[in-house]
Amino acid sequence: MLEAKPAIDYETADFYTDVALVDDPHAYFAFLRGKGPVTRLPYRNVMAVTGYEEMIQLALDTEHFSTINSVVGAMVELPFEVKGDDISAELEAARSKIAFSDQIVSQQGKRHSDLRSILARLFTPSRLRELEPKLRETADSLIDEFARDGKVELAEQYGGPYATLVIADLLGLPDRVRNRFRRLLEGAVPVKMDATPEEMMKNPLVELGKDLFKLIVKRRLAAHPLVKPIAGLFGAKHDILAEVATARFPDGGKPSLIDITGLSAFLFGAGQDTTNRLLCACMKVIATHPDVQQALRDDPSRIPDFIEETLRLDGAVKSGGRICQKSTTLGGVEVKAGTVMLMSPLAANRDPKRFEDPDQFKLDRPKIKEHVAFGRGAHTCIGAPLARREVTVSIERLLARMGNIRLSEAHHGAEGQRHFDYAPTYVLHALSSLHLEFDPV
Ligand code: HEM
């Protein structure tokens, strides 16, 4: 008898370009993990890291692994021939030729800690406390827009604009700019797998970056010693953006205008789809598990644990990149300089060696915060405390204002025949849409 063939041939499927892998990355990662926690893929000189311990070791080992390809992963073309066991100097020399290597997440050493020190000012506990009333206000004003309809497409009508508006508030942007950014990013989708560099440049974040640049130039000008005494006359305020625009590195060095603009714009890239899609993943569980929905309604103090377990089970980041700069071993496997590492928080979080019944949702899982959905090491997500509060407040307000939340069967099928579409990207595990129905409260 002929054996039934799997619909996708995992042996040859290309993680970076094969859209067939997008809807269920977990099954593909389980297949790879079956070969070992660190395993070679049959293309582009890539090794996939699907083990929990191995992912942490990779993220912490900055001597042997570079973050220069953190954003582009294996879609990196080295402009030199790899020779020998140490390419760290050649890699650094080639930085300007590697796409997105100027972003904070791709930087290393002092340059990275300098840039991170500027952002750290935005994520202090007191700054987050100040933001708290705004989180609630923004949630309620967005819910007002659909509360009477009894239905909502959550990613576009709530999660996307919510994430944009919150980051605008984090930077203290004026209402006019806040609303323009909402319109700019409305309906934006994560960059597609097969996007050309020209398509990437059409990303609305480029437009948003130009606006931020102008605002930052104004703030810097207003702080200039010759202008400062009269800056108030033409309406200049010392707001949060001014604080960021005029911040110094820890050694007193002055960041360039491009540094500050890049950092501010990066927040919209890093904190937008990730937070939106985490909220969608959470609401998908709520809509499909009436017992979980009831438990959270009965005791909203369980919402933070619920979010941690959803981050572990279905976190938004599917892959990040590293590249081996000095030959070494990882998880007992030899890794040669020049090898690209597919680092997957999503896969590591389902490693059965670390998490019992890893594919099961367990609200009372012990040590529930030990997942790696926000990464590890020097580049651990700086926005994690904000993302956690954003999603907590959103779930609290959505539960309070939407009774009996359920999936739209017209869009996602009846029980037993459910289907969900995920965005065609190798970076994020991102629900394309989540159609919900509810009883208006
Ligand atoms: C559920 C939401 C989020 C998830 C799952 C997430 C995940 C991650 C991960 C895995 C990294 C590390 C990448 C690496 O090591 O290569 C990271 C870095 C980063 N994230 Fe997030 N993130 C989220 C939300 C946010 C938010 C809301 C912001 C800011 C508004 C943000 C800003 C950043 C920044 C600036 C970095 C780079 C940090 C550095 O290189 O030092 N993220 N994030």
Q: Is residue 134 assigned to a domain?
A: yes
- Check pLDDT > 90 for residue 165: yes
Between the CA of 4 and the centroid of ligand 1 the distance, in Å, is 41
Determine, yes or no, domain membership for 220.
yes
Mutate to test the pocket of ligand 1, among 307, 381, 389, 390 (most ligand atoms within 8 A of CB): 381
- 265: amino acid identity, one letter: A
* 12 within a domain of the structure (yes/no): no
For ligand 1, atom 22, the nearest C-alpha belongs to: 381
Rg (alpha carbons) of the chain, rounded to whole number:
22
Kind and range of the H or E run holding 90: helix 88-93
Dihedral class, residue 209 (left if φ above 0, else alpha if ψ from -120 to 50, else beta): alpha
- If you average pLDDT over every residue of the chain, what do you get? 93
Which residue's alpha carbon is at the smallest distance from atom 24 of ligand 1?
271
Whether residue 274 is predicted with pLDDT greater than 80 in this model: the reply is yes
Q: How many CA atoms lie within 13 A of 217 on its CB side?
A: 7
Count CB neighbours of 355 within 10 A: 21
Residue 188 counted as domain residue: yes
Whether residue 229 is contained in a domain is answered as yes
User: Shortest CA distance to 158 belongs to which of 175, 139, 133, 173?
Assistant: 139
DSSP 253: P
Q: What is the pLDDT of residues 98-146, one digit of tens each?
A: 988 999 999 999 999 999 999 999 999 999 999 999 999 999 999 999 9
Residues of the chain above pLDDT 90, percent: 86
Task: Reduce the DSSP state of residue 21 to 3 states and report it.
Answer: helix
Mean predicted confidence (pLDDT) in 390-414: 98
Nearest one of 369, 359, 418, 431 to 153, comparing CA atoms: 431
pLDDT of residue 233: 67
Handedness of CA 225, 226, 227, 232 (dihedral sign): positive
Residue with tokens 């323009």: 180
pLDDT grade, residue 198 (50/70/90)?
low
> Is the pLDDT at 421 greater than 90, yes or no?
yes
Q: Which residues line ligand 1 (CB under 6 A)?
A: 70, 104-105, 116, 119, 167, 266-267, 270-271, 274-275, 278, 315-317, 320, 345, 373-375, 379, 381-383, 386-387
Confidence at 7, pLDDT banded by 50, 70, 90: confident
Give helix 175-185 / helix 160-170 axis angle, nearest 10°: 150
The answer to whether position 8 is within a domain reads no
User: Which residue, among 57, 48, 58, 53, has the nearest Cα to 21 in the 3D structure?
Assistant: 48
Provide the percentage of residues in the chain whose pLDDT is more than 70.
Answer: 94
pLDDT of residue 200: 67
Q: Is residue 397 part of a domain?
A: yes
pLDDT score of 225: 79
Among 4-18, 187-201, 229-243, the minimum mean pLDDT is found in 187-201
- Residue ID of nearest Cα to ligand 1 atom 19: 381
Which of 236, 233, 239, 241 minimizes the C-alpha distance to 222? 236
- pLDDT, one tens digit per residue, over 353-373 is 999 999 999 999 999 999 999
Q: How far, in Å, are 221, 225, 232, 236, 237 from residue 229 at the CA level?
A: 12, 7, 7, 11, 12
Of all protein residues, the one whose alpha carbon is nearest to atom 26 of ligand 1 is 271
Total structural domains within the chain: 1
Atom of ligand 1 nearest to the CA of 163: 27
CA of 263 to the centre of ligand 1 (A): 12
Range of the domain at 297: 19-440
Centre of ligand 1 from the C-alpha of residue 383, in Å: 6
**Per the domain annotation, does 223 fall within a domain?**
yes
47-56, 232-241, 384-393, 427-436: which range is least confident on average? Answer: 232-241
CATH number, residue 71? 1.10.630.10
